[in-house]
Amino acid sequence: MKKVLVFGGTHGNEFTGVWIVEKYAEFFKKKYPTLRLEFILANPEAHKINKRFKDEDLNRAFQFLHEKRPDSFEHHRARELRDMVLKEECFVIDLHTTTSAMGKTIILTDYNPLVLWLGQELAAKMSDARVIGSPDPNKKYLASQVPSSLMIEVGPVANGLLDPVVFEGTVALLDQILLSLSVAPASPKGEVELYVEVEDVKYPLDEKGQISAYIHSGFQGKDFVKIEGNYTPFRRFSGEEITSKTLGPRYPIFINEAAYYPQKLAYTLCEKTLKKF
């Protein structure tokens, strides 16, 4: 029997994953008896205080496990979670939401045939779902600790909120992934359309290093809308528009994600590719 670990609340203020872990564990265990399903609240301390994290971002902490960080709850928790997923062979699903208007997505950090096949199945069964490729060479994400894994990322929803569309969309994505996992072939083959992250775009900064422009009203909410050539992502607080240019077709994601302001990250550009496996 395949062991599947479903994590929610890796970011404590993303309520959708927390509530799926708390309210849907028994439903999915009954529905998929051929899977050994476990549901885990990944960051209970951050959820208690309704924050993304307590001491450091748990979903970046895995890259620092070689360091000593005795005062960090997430450092300690990342060790526990890594031990949990490495104990025996398992498939890892990590539930996330975004304030960006990305709709229903899954994010792959490893391009092995099983996860690519799950992406292909998902795109075939749910026409509004997309598959993002986000290779993670530093293994900073929880999902990157094992090759058989993916993140579910749905938006837009504010942090600390259950939005019915985002909540039901996440349940539907999880349901489809579990259904596919329960019937996955031993040697999957096929091809899948991937949106592969190629460039992080930062906000324009002033001479003091402060953000000097905001997302343009014509760009807000345009996640996955194709850009080719000139486009206008920002407006300065003085009113002036800022244009930019791509060298080929690009697809923006995570436009105006609330959690990325500290890093001054405005959005990420993807290239669309057909991945054979």
Name residues contacting Zn ion, limited to 9-28 (CB under 5 A): 11, 14
Q: Is the dihedral of CA 111, 112, 115, 120 positive or negative?
A: positive
Residue 54 CB, nearest distance to Zn ion (Å)? Answer: 15
Of the two residues 47 and 250, which places its CB atom closer to Zn ion in the complex? 47
Counting runs of H as helices and runs of E as strands, what totals does the chain give? 7, 12
The least CB distance from residue 170 to Zn ion, in Å, is 12
Residue closer to Zn ion (CB basis): 82 or 216: 82
Contact characters 67-96, Zn ion, x per CB under 5 A: -----------------------------x
Retrieve residue 2's tokens: 């395949």
Alpha-carbon distance values, 132 to 192, 233, 257 (Å): 10, 21, 16
Nearest to Zn ion of 96, 250 (CB atom):
96
Task: Give the residue carrying structure tokens 């979903």.
Answer: 59
**For Zn ion, the closer CB: 11 or 75:** 11
Task: Give the ranges where 88-232 is alpha helix by DSSP (H).
Answer: 113-125, 164-182
Q: How many residues bind Zn ion, per CB under 5 A?
A: 3
Min dist CB 14 to Zn ion, Å, is 5
CB of 232 to Zn ion, least distance (A): 28
Residue tagged 């775009």 (tokens)? 201
Closest to Zn ion by CB, 117 vs 141, is 141
What minimum distance in Å lies between the beta carbon of 165 and Zn ion?
18
3 state SS of 65: coil
Between the alpha carbon of residue 188 and those of residues 126, 133, 174, 192, 267, the distances in Å are 19, 18, 20, 12, 33
Residues that bind Zn ion (CB under 5 A): 11, 14, 96
